[in-house]
Amino acid sequence: MKIESDFNDIDSLGDDHIGSSSETPMRADAFELSNSEKVDIIKDDVRHILETLGLDLNDDSLKGTPNRVAKMFVNEIFGGLNPDKKPNASTFDNKYKYGEMLVEKNITVYSTCEHHLLPIVGRAHVAYISNGTVVGLSKMNRIVDYFAKRPQVQERLTIQIVKELQNVLNTEDVACVIDAKHLCVNSRGIRDIESSTVTSEFGGKFKEKETRREFLDYIQLDTTF
């Protein structure tokens, strides 16, 4: 049947890690409901899923699960969908005239695969070359965390981090590399627990071979303290 064939095609797209665009696909009415209204709706949906699986939600361990999951979705792991939570990345004049690249490496990434809603866990390495302005170091971590806290594909996440820093710093000279494990690969499907996925996005001077090589060398440095 055609319907079954269409579902099989959709499933294969998810397993093949296909993404749709560099922007998170959002509906126009995404923020018409309040967070509390979303929690109430999702709570009922999670309860229905668990009951459909045959679980007894009267059990002390399970009866709070629908509410916990709903609050987690809205307020935590998908909080990056809400533009109100976007970090205010203030910039400052580069008064000390530092002209080399600045690298913030080993930024923890916790995200969620949009194909199976399973965790993506890894590290991001971000760099930029100032054209007269700098941004606070913690803001780079916060930008990574903001875009990670939504259903994602790693390629899109990498691009979104670079684009945001390019806008904040008003320079094309931004780069990002992410190395992460996808539990949709590690815990289901092929169940390969050793593999990880590496993505990169290079802008401006980082497209030049020597600059890109310098950045990649920096992120290989051992910084164990």
**Catalytic residue list:** 113-116, 154, 182, 184
Instruction: Give dist(CA 61, CA 176) in Å, integer.
Output: 41
Contact 154, 182 (CB under 8 A): yes
CB atoms inside a 10 Å sphere around CB 40 = 14
Residues 6+ apart with CB under 8 A from 157: 109, 111, 147, 148, 178, 199
CA proximity to 220, closest of 141, 120, 106, 127? 106
∠ CA 205-209-213, rounded to 5°: 95
